[in-house]
């Protein structure tokens, strides 16, 4: 069966192929780096990763762009409160996001783009929208006039034709339901950082960032635009309004949206305080692969309830897979190749592919894998599995792991690099100079626990590994 996705734009399952050639042009909305991402956010990012991997397994190449939103109200507020520049403030959370993504084995997009590196292009797009009559200005801020875009609502399937108030909300987080016009450019408030551009001093709204960067790198019509379900409205609706008003072309052919990670039936979110970061979970002793497995195991269009029980089941499932792989690699099977088992392996492969072709139905794909493992384990116990079957079974596991990527155990926390040790030593020397001997001792002990021995000599500190 052929690959198909549920398209939010048409509310139907549609066969997917890129518009041109074999390359899929895809844009996904990335994180706003004002804090650590929680594993709810990562459910959406794991969905992007599965999507990438399955598109590639289906024979396509990828041209995938993801943004990092490194300017918004919260970032400005927090950076100002900490007396930091926006760049210094967001660098920490951008790096944390990249580190967490790596732990979760997320493939990176071909291009990761930062909003603050594209301000002139955003200003130019706003200027063009103004020339075309889609905007108006109030107190230095520029707004998009929804009344000029009659198709507004076509993605979220909201009917905006009624007589609405048209109230504007000066926020780039979530506009109110009845706020039709949205901000493209925000005039700076007293003391806020701003850019000087051809549309005046200020900073871009969140929506225009994605439209401009997507079109700049991927062209006027994308094959796929994806994000979390909460972005459908208003963010993606607004992206469509801006982009299509700019180009006169459909902005994206397929719109894919991932459902939430829930806690007790409610969205995991910063504001409800019911969230865990990846770090929280690793500290409790759960390896990153279990989080990856848990978040991947439920199809992306279904809500997924997070529990620690669920994490334990994920660990058990991974154990079963690894034990099976070990058995295949180490056990001596009788010579020959069992033809019926060969057919069974082929069928498992077909079931696995059909499930993922069906809008990434990961639950069914996993069911196909585990049923196959159960049956072939039984065959092995009964002496029916033959040596010639091994390579086919391993190849099937390889296909599984090219998407799920959980077989390889996480590397043990690597010991500190030389540069990190030098940094710690410099910190200790600094503490000693400041007569903070408690801190200096703590650093020595911390290094000792990592197997690093310090030696104070007249020429300075020397160190070696135990």
Query: Are 106 and 46 a contacting pair, CB within 8 Å?
Result: yes
Q: Please provide residue 385's backbone torsions phi and psi, each rounded to the nearest 5 degrees.
A: -90, 125
Enumerate residues 4-33 that contact ligand AMP by CB under 6 A.
29, 31-32
Q: Does 368 bind Zn ion (CB under 5 A)?
A: no
| CA 128 centroid distance within chain | 31
Q: Does 155 bind Zn ion (CB under 5 A)?
A: no
Decide the pairing of beta strands 4-7 and 12-15: antiparallel
Query: Bridge partners of 186?
Result: 203
Q: Does 156 bind ligand AMP (CB under 6 A)?
A: no
Residue 210's binding partner out of Zn ion, ligand AMP, none, with CB under 5 to 8 Å set by partner kind: Zn ion
Enumerate residues 366-405 that contact ligand AMP by CB under 6 A.
none
Residue 203's binding partner out of ligand AMP, Zn ion, none, with CB under 5 to 8 Å set by partner kind: none
Residue from 33, 62, 125, 210 touching Zn ion (CB under 5 A): that is 210
Distances (CA, A) of 102 to 95, 106, 189, 254, 407: 11, 6, 37, 27, 16
Structure tokens given for 172: 């780039």
Enumerate residues 199-258 that contact ligand AMP by CB under 6 A.
227-228, 230-231
Residue 450's binding partner out of Zn ion, ligand AMP, none, with CB under 5 to 8 Å set by partner kind: none
Give me the DSSP letters along 352-377.
HHHHHHBT--HHHHHHHHHHHHHHHH
Q: Does 212 bind Zn ion (CB under 5 A)?
A: no
- Among 29-37, 256-264, 269-277, 309-317, the segment contacting Zn ion (CB under 5 A): 29-37
Q: Does 321 bind ligand AMP (CB under 6 A)?
A: no
- Among 3-11, 26-34, 56-64, 359-367, the segment contacting Zn ion (CB under 5 A): 26-34
Q: Does 71 bind Zn ion (CB under 5 A)?
A: no
334 vs 151: CA distance, rounded Å: 66
Q: Classify residue 321 by burial, with Cβ atoms within 10 Å: 0-12, 13-18, 19+.
A: buried
Q: Cβ contacts of residue 123 below 8 Å, gap of 6+?
A: 185, 195, 197, 198, 199, 204
Q: Does 121 bind ligand AMP (CB under 6 A)?
A: no
Query: Are 396 and 372 a contacting pair, CB within 8 Å?
Result: yes
Structure tokens given for 254: 């397929």
Q: Does 90 bind ligand AMP (CB under 6 A)?
A: no
Using CB positions, name the residue nearest to ligand AMP.
228
- Among 175-183, 205-213, 267-275, 287-295, the segment contacting Zn ion (CB under 5 A): 205-213
- Among 39-47, 345-353, 423-431, 450-458, the segment contacting ligand AMP (CB under 6 A): 39-47
List of residues contacting Zn ion (CB under 5 A): 29, 210
- Give me the residues that bind ligand AMP (CB under 6 A), please: 29, 31-32, 40-41, 43-44, 227-228, 230-231, 260-261, 267-269
């Amino acid at each position: 069966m052929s690959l198909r996705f549920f398209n939010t734009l048409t509310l139907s399952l549609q066969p997917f192929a890129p518009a041109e050639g074999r390359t899929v042009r895809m844009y996904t909305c990335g994180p706003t780096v004002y804090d650590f991402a929680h594993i709810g956010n990562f459910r959406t990012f794991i969905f992007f990763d599965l999507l990438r991997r399955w598109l590639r397994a289906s024979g396509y190449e990828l041209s995938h762009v993801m943004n990092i939103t490194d300017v918004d109200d919260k970032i400005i507020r927090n950076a100002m409160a900490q007396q930091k520049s926006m760049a210094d403030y967001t660098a920490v959370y951008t790096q944390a996001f990249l580190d967490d993504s790596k732990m979760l084995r997320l493939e990176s997009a071909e291009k990761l783009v930062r909003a603050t590196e594209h301000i002139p292009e955003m200003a130019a797009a706003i200027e063009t929208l103004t020339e075309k009559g889609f905007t108006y200005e109030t107190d230095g801020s520029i707004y998009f006039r929804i009344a000029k875009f009659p198709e507004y609502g076509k993605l979220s399937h909201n009917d905006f034709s009624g007589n609405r108030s048209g109230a504007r909300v000066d926020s780039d987080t979530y506009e109110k339901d009845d706020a039709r016009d949205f901000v493209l450019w925000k005039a700076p408030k007293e003391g806020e950082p701003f850019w000087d551009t051809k549309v005046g001093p200020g900073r871009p709204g969140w929506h225009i960032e994605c439209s401009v960067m997507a079109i700049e790198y991927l062209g006027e019509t994308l094959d796929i635009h994806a994000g979390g379900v909460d972005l459908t409205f208003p963010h993606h609706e607004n992206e469509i309004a801006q982009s299509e008003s700019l180009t006169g072309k459909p902005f994206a052919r397929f719109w894919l949206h991932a459902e939430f990670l829930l806690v007790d039936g409610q969205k995991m979110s910063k504001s409800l305080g019911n969230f865990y970061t990846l770090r929280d979970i690793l500290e409790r002793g759960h390896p990153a692969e279990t989080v990856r497995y848990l978040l991947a195991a439920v199809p992306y269009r279904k809500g997924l309830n997070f529990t620690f029980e669920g994490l334990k089941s994920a660990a058990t499932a991974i154990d079963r897979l690894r034990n099976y792989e070990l058995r295949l690699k180490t056990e001596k099977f009788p010579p020959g190749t069992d033809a019926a088992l060969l057919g069974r392996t082929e069928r498992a492969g077909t079931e696995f592919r059909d499930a993922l072709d069906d809008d990434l139905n990961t639950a069914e794909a996993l069911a196909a894998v585990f049923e196959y493992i159960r049956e072939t384990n039984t065959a092995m116990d009964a002496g029916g599995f033959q040596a010639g079957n091994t390579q086919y079974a391993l190849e099937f596991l390889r296909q599984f792991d090219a998407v799920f990527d959980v077989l390889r155990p996480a590397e043990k926390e690597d010991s500190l690099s030389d540069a990190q040790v030098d940094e710690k030593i410099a910190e200790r020397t600094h503490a000693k100079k400041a007569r903070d001997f408690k801190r200096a001792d703590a650093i020595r002990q911390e290094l000792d626990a990592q197997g690093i021995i310090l030696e104070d000599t007249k020429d300075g500190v020397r160190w070696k590994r135990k």
